[in-house]
Amino acid sequence: MPAKRAAKRAKNGAKSHVIGVDLGGTNIVFALTDLSAKILHRFKMPTLAQEGRDKVLSRMAEGVLRVLEESGVSAQSVQGVGVGTPGPINSRQGILYSAPNLPGFKNTPIKAYLERKTGLAVHLENDANAAAFGEHWAGAGKGTSEMIMLTLGTGVGGGIIMGGKLYSGVDDTAGEFGHMVIDPSGPLCGCGQRGCLEQYGSATAIARRAREAVLAGTQSSLLTMAEGDPSKISSRLVHQAAKDGDPLAHQVWADTAVFLAIGIANLVNIFNPQMVVLGGGVMLAGADLLGPIRREVLKRAFDRPARTAKIVAAKLGDDAGVIGAAAVAIARA
Amino acid sequence: MPAKRAAKRAKNGAKSHVIGVDLGGTNIVFALTDLSAKILHRFKMPTLAQEGRDKVLSRMAEGVLRVLEESGVSAQSVQGVGVGTPGPINSRQGILYSAPNLPGFKNTPIKAYLERKTGLAVHLENDANAAAFGEHWAGAGKGTSEMIMLTLGTGVGGGIIMGGKLYSGVDDTAGEFGHMVIDPSGPLCGCGQRGCLEQYGSATAIARRAREAVLAGTQSSLLTMAEGDPSKISSRLVHQAAKDGDPLAHQVWADTAVFLAIGIANLVNIFNPQMVVLGGGVMLAGADLLGPIRREVLKRAFDRPARTAKIVAAKLGDDAGVIGAAAVAIARA
């Protein structure tokens, strides 16, 4: 244990646990962890965002107290609570500015609210940053000092670890890798630009490209797999069809690897990191995606940083967020 | 003065000066500075790279000793020598791996050589990083903590300041903003990729786009200004013609601002910096380029980081390199 962390630990006396909370649009995940962010107790409850902000906030406080109850750990032995939330935040003040999937959460002082309700120190972090910090603390990036993470899900999120610490920029908005433009004449993105990486590397984009080709009349087993309904084509289905030898699905998947490699090569040239961790639902494809991406990044990025940067799959799966939130509470204690 | 720096200063006793050396393909610039990197004495000598590595190295050592002689400052009062060089380096070992404009410099232990010849502590840094650190230490970025710099010259270089420190990645190669692909079907770049930012925002690229249009038959006053020789069209000429109302030159210049803004918006979304400093010969255009870039970045990047990031012109001009080299020696002492 580094001297600094040992000193902190001494200061925190017998505080041997932290609580992680991962607030999502569908579920809230709660976990009690030890000071290495190892999960000792974990449960989730539905967010029920449509019931409004106050109900969700009160469920978050209840969940934290329930962690203590169910695990039999006293509040005195808890060092703090880390909370990961979607949307732009102010980490110092612990305010969630807004979150598209959480109606009513505009400018919500989550930290102040939870501290009042639980009596514990609360630390807020953006969920993509929390996931990256989780993978750094206890997952694929454990032991690295310079690491970046891309989460390939509905959108493309990102997080930056530098010098072993989370780098979140001046306004806690750093790491928006999904909105790096890689083709200014590409598809229109929700952010207002064209050709953002998110428009190529997200699960949504993979499904959309396959769907568009099917609707344009390209022969593909995808239509049958989707029971004749193109709107049912998902990135998972495209991956399955590609494995089964469907030419269209194979092409969509191959293009995805190239587009992602363009973005990752850009980031490798910019950050010269030890490691690039790829997470999110798209990575269920595993080696089928990692192999082509690695080859293409080696061709594209400068030789030295390309050879240095290990491109690997995330290890913590859906728990990256809650483990990262716990790790944030440990690191900031 | 921060406590840590004050402690260093005490340790270094009466060491009140540093020497900066900026090794370029054409000239070597030497400067004696105080511990705020203010230039007290400065001169340059031709590199004469064609005479070979050993001659250049010995000229570098001579130059350092000449700084002491001419300024009357004793070696005992010099804290160290900072050297900025082109090409990939190893900053810890002080080795220059290679430099296209300096034949024979493959794997050259510049630090060890200069330390032996001068008896002074030597610190090596990449020249683009040194320029960024110079602007951070004593130029446009003074007082910032999170700053990035793009140097728009023959190529497009970059440097990253984070938490007030130079960030250079695992292999000292970070900050290659010029090789961020912004259009995979764009012009072929020397790095092997297509559509790198350097292919749009460098002086070379601006001249090339104008030249290609003239050669393709577009009417323009540029041809007359270049005395009928398209190969004489330079980025400076394009800027002059644009100011004089030439439609082609105006279009090339406007396109340049948009392309640069795409790259800068990407970096603003990635780093969420306080400041983006733009330097290099292209910035002689000043407000004619800064204005359009600022407007376009505000439209493109996310609102919060776009409003935070001040986009400004570099202040140190050609001295950024040598001041940055001196600042590196101060910071690492």
In this prediction, residue B256 carries a pLDDT of 97
Quickly list H helices, A119-230: 127-138, 198-201, 203-215, 222-225
- pTM comes to 0.93
Tokens 């939330």 locate to: A85
Q: Which residues contact A211 (CB under 8 A, 6 or more apart)?
A: A230, A231, A233
How far is the alpha carbon of B234 from chain A, nearest alpha carbon, in Å?
26
Supply the mean pLDDT for chain B.
94
In this prediction, residue B250 carries a pLDDT of 96
Average pLDDT on B100-117 reads: 94
By Cβ distance, the residue of B170, B183, B270 closest to A183 is B183
Judging contacts by C-beta atoms under 8 Å, the chain B residues touching residue A302 are 173, 176, 179, 191
Average pLDDT on A258-279 reads: 98
Spatial distance between the Cα atoms of B272 and A154, rounded to a whole number of angstroms: 23
Spatial distance between the Cα atoms of A6 and A8, rounded to a whole number of angstroms: 5
Spatial distance between the Cα atoms of B12 and A328, rounded to a whole number of angstroms: 38
Tokens 């060890």 locate to: B112
Contact status, residue A272 vs residue A305, Cβ threshold 8 Å: yes
Q: In the structure, what pLDDT confidence band is assigned to residue A101 with cuts at 50, 70 and 90?
A: confident
Question: Is pLDDT above 70 for B7?
Answer: no
Contact status, residue B157 vs residue B177, Cβ threshold 8 Å: yes
Question: Is pLDDT above 90 for B8?
Answer: no
By Cβ distance, the residue of B169, B265, B272 closest to A169 is B272
Sequence ranges of chain A with CATH classification 3.30.420.40: 3-135+319-332, 143-315
Supply the mean pLDDT for chain A.
94
How far is the alpha carbon of A69 from chain B, nearest alpha carbon, in Å?
40
Sequence ranges of chain B with CATH classification 3.30.420.40: 3-136+319-332, 143-315
| Closest residue of chain B to A267, computed from CA coordinates | B180
Task: Say what the ipTM of the complex is.
Answer: 0.93
By Cβ distance, the residue of B88, B160, B182 closest to A181 is B182
By Cβ distance, the residue of B176, B185, B262 closest to A269 is B176
Q: What are the residues of chain A with a beta carbon less than 8 Å away from any beta carbon of chain B? A: 88, 146, 158, 160, 162-163, 167-177, 179-185, 191-193, 262, 265-267, 269-274, 299-300, 302, 304-305, 308
Judging contacts by C-beta atoms under 8 Å, the chain B residues touching residue A175 are 270
Question: Is pLDDT above 70 for A8?
Answer: no
In this prediction, residue B87 carries a pLDDT of 85
Q: In the structure, what pLDDT confidence band is assigned to residue B103 with cuts at 50, 70 and 90?
A: confident
Residues B181, A270: C-beta atoms closer than 8 Å: no
Which CATH code, of 3.90.245.10, 3.30.420.40, 3.30.70.330, 1.10.3720.10, is assigned to B3-136+319-332? Answer: 3.30.420.40
CATH number of B143-315: 3.30.420.40
In this prediction, residue A247 carries a pLDDT of 97
How far is the alpha carbon of A108 from chain B, nearest alpha carbon, in Å?
17
Spatial distance between the Cα atoms of B63 and B53, rounded to a whole number of angstroms: 15
Residue B101, judged by CB atoms within 10 A of its CB (0-12, 13-18, 19+), counts as middle
Residues B170, A270: C-beta atoms closer than 8 Å: no
In this prediction, residue B2 carries a pLDDT of 57
CATH class (in words) of the domain with range A3-135+319-332: alpha beta
By Cβ distance, the residue of A175, A183, A274 closest to B270 is A175
* Helix/strand/coil for B257: helix
**Which token pair is A239?**
């991956």
In this prediction, residue A11 carries a pLDDT of 54
